[in-house]
Amino acid sequence: MSSLAKTNLFKPVKVGPVTLSNRVVLAPTTRLRNTKTSVATDSMLEFYIERAKNNGGLLISEGGFTSPDLGAFPFAPMLYTDEQVASWKKITDAVHSNGSSIAIQIAGLGRTGDPKAFKEGGFPFTAPSAIYLSEESKEAAEKVGNPLREFTIDELHRVKEDFVIASKKAVERSGFDIVELHVANMYLLNQFLEETSNQRTDQYGGSIENRSRFVLEVVDAVSEAIGAEHTAVRISPYSRFQGGESVDAKVNPIVNYGYFVSELERRGKEGKRLAYISFVEPRISGADTVDESYTPDSSWLNEIWKGIIIRCGNLLHGDGYPLLRKFVDADDRTLIASSRYFTSNPDLVNRLKNGYPLTHYDRPTFYNVLSNKGYLTWPNYGETVDEEKILSSVPKALA
């Protein structure tokens, strides 16, 4: 592979409150190495340290939830209890001491959640509208007596406050530089934007403006609480994951998401510019290979949004990474994020800079709950790891 050292990828850039020495970003990557009660672990600390060393870039943590009633998901991150919040402070301190910056992605589940898990926690199964993700979800909800229902207006006020509280904890107590609101992949906030999951008849449903309204209210509330420069969003207009319709939707993603991004840009021009917009490139969700026939044009984002853009998805493919080069050298405000290849190449930044080959990821180990296999067993280029020693231990709570 050829070196990317002379591309814009290795030019410094200011993102929100931090200045990065390169434009390689660790994308949010769910790994389920928290404890069952969502406390960060010593293995997670090591994982982030390995990727912060000799980097100087931005790491975005795996998606975490605001509260149990929005994220009944064992082994995933959460910023709710004091123990959960304190455990992440040890990770952010370590990342900062190694010269890198760190953001956290926060989310809610909505209709993508497990109705049984919500029931066991004493919570209702709620979403923008009572439209099930699948027949399987409907059957599971009915079986446990926790049918999906629409959020009330009062509940939405509380949901908004949950995002604000979690964001303040993230910045003020856990030490994160930026909070990324997860408006992608058909998780809770994204469900408001899409007509297939939002058929409300009040001010939060119907028109494109109404479907965007609640998400923009969350963005505004979080920006007010922690500062717009500490706030970011992630969108995936073309994703088919978890019920996303992509270009098959009645309203083209450019129209739907173009309005949403236009509203973010308007706020930016008024002095409330977000740290960045993270954009998931058009792709078939979950595929190992690139579908060359599925290539909607995503250049409209640059036409509307004039702030920092982080692009992610299939950019580390092809000899010399032509798509990555195209995006990063097209302007001075585009960063490139990687998820899968960062799992198997802790020194990804160094490999891209020097043209070293990449180690392919191991999909079966992505979600090995409380296991270090496929998590801490990847060496830097030219080095080795003591896999037997690493696998002799399991992740333990940090707090």
**What does the buried/exposed string (b/e) look like for 325-351 if buried means 16 or more CB atoms within 10 Å of the residue's CB?**
bebbeeeebbbbbbbbbbbbbbbbbbb
Q: List the alpha helices (DSSP H) in 30-168.
A: 42-52, 82-97, 115-120, 135-143, 153-168
- Which whole number is the average pLDDT over 73-87? 96
Predicted local distance difference test score (pLDDT) of residue 286: 46
Predicted local distance difference test score (pLDDT) of residue 293: 58
- Which whole number is the average pLDDT over 160-188? 98
Query: pLDDT band at 287, cuts 50/70/90?
Result: very low
Give the Cα separation of 48 and 78 in Å (integer). 17
Of 243-252, 266-275, 363-372, least confident by mean pLDDT is: 243-252
Predicted local distance difference test score (pLDDT) of residue 53: 97
Query: pLDDT band at 239, cuts 50/70/90?
Result: confident
187 is catalytic: yes
| Structural domain range at position 350 | 8-391
Share of the chain above pLDDT 70, in %: 94
Q: Does the structure show a pLDDT above 80 at 285?
A: no
Predicted local distance difference test score (pLDDT) of residue 294: 60
Give the Cα separation of 273 and 293 in Å (integer). 35
Give the Cα separation of 80 and 123 in Å (integer). 15
Q: Is residue 121 part of a domain?
A: yes
Give the Cα separation of 61 and 76 in Å (integer). 11
Predicted local distance difference test score (pLDDT) of residue 284: 43
The β-bridge relationship of strands 13-15 and 18-20 is: antiparallel
pLDDT in tens, 17-61: 999 999 999 999 999 999 999 999 999 999 999 999 989 999 999
Q: Is residue 271 part of a domain?
A: yes
Q: Is residue 166 part of a domain?
A: yes
Candidate list 48, 132, 187, 257, residue with the active-site label: 187
Contacts of 386 (CB under 8 A, 6+ apart): none
Q: Is residue 209 part of a domain?
A: yes
Task: Please say whether the beta carbons of 21 and 56 come within 8 A.
Answer: yes
DSSP 35: -
Question: Which helix (DSSP H) or strand (DSSP E) does residue 129 occupy?
Answer: none
Task: Please say whether the beta carbons of 169 and 163 come within 8 A.
Answer: no
Q: Is residue 142 part of a domain?
A: yes
- Which whole number is the average pLDDT over 174-191? 97
Rg (CA), the chain: 20
Query: Helices 208-226 and 153-168 meet at what angle, rounded to 10?
Result: 40
Q: Is residue 2 part of a domain?
A: no
Of 240-244, 304-308, 322-326, 330-334, least confident by mean pLDDT is: 240-244
Q: Does the structure show a pLDDT above 60 at 205?
A: yes
Q: Does the structure show a pLDDT above 90 at 204?
A: yes
CATH of the domain at 39: 3.20.20.70
Predicted local distance difference test score (pLDDT) of residue 316: 94
**The total number of structural domains that make up the chain:** 1
Considering the chain, what is the average pLDDT of its residues?
A: 94
Of 133-137, 284-288, 325-329, least confident by mean pLDDT is: 284-288
Tokens of 8: 């814009």
Predicted local distance difference test score (pLDDT) of residue 247: 61
Task: Please say whether the beta carbons of 244 and 200 come within 8 A.
Answer: no
pTM assigned to the model: 0.95
Q: Is residue 218 part of a domain?
A: yes
Q: C-alpha angle with apex 82: 78 to 86, nearest 5 degrees?
A: 80
Q: Three-state SS for 177?
A: coil
Give the Cα separation of 195 and 21 in Å (integer). 40
Nearest CA to 23 out of 69, 73, 58 is that of 58
Q: Is residue 372 part of a domain?
A: yes
Predicted local distance difference test score (pLDDT) of residue 243: 61
Predicted local distance difference test score (pLDDT) of residue 240: 74
Phi, psi at residue 340, to the nearest 5°?
-60, -45
The β-bridge relationship of strands 101-107 and 64-65 is: parallel
Q: Three-state SS for 132?
A: coil
Share of the chain above pLDDT 90, in %: 89
Question: In the structure, how many helices (H) and strands (E) does the chain have?
Answer: 13, 13
